[in-house]
Amino acid sequence: MSRKSSHETLLETFIDATVARHEAMLKSDFRRANRFYRKSVAAYRLLVERGDRTLLVNLLENPNASVRCASATYLLSTMENRALEVLRSLARGDYPVASFEAKGILHEWEKGTLDVP
């Protein structure tokens, strides 16, 4: 059995926390959603510190819309066109949390006021 690399573990943490945040938001459990948001941001920041931000590119095709939305948001500064494509697709879709978030992210990005952790 092979051991997972640290970046694989961070990606899993990012995905799991993002999915858990989505589920908590659907249940209006915002305290829990915020806890998982902080966990996903921490995983993202560690990926950036290690120079592994580009690993998020693979998540742009993830089956979970919230994972795609979060990944695209973090990739806006480095892969703007691809990230915007994903966010626009999500904004047009019918995803309870991700569509709403994608619309807000696009609005703030276009205004130049998006604050990405």
In a domain, 23, yes or no: yes
Tokens of 10: 């961070």
Q: Within a domain: residue 63?
A: yes
What DSSP designation does 64 have?
S
Look up the CATH number of the domain holding residue 55: 1.25.40.70
pLDDT digits (tens, 9 = 90+) for 51-91: 888 889 999 999 999 999 999 999 999 999 999 999 999 99
Tens digit of each residue's pLDDT (9 = 90 or more) over 22-41: 999 999 999 999 999 999 99
Does the residue 117 lie in any domain? no
Q: Whole domain around residue 38: which residue ranges? A: 6-111
pTM: 0.90
Return d(Cα 64, Cα 4) in angstroms, integer: 22
Q: Structural domain tally of the chain?
A: 1
Residue written as tokens 């095709």? Answer: 61
Residue with tokens 């966010």: 87
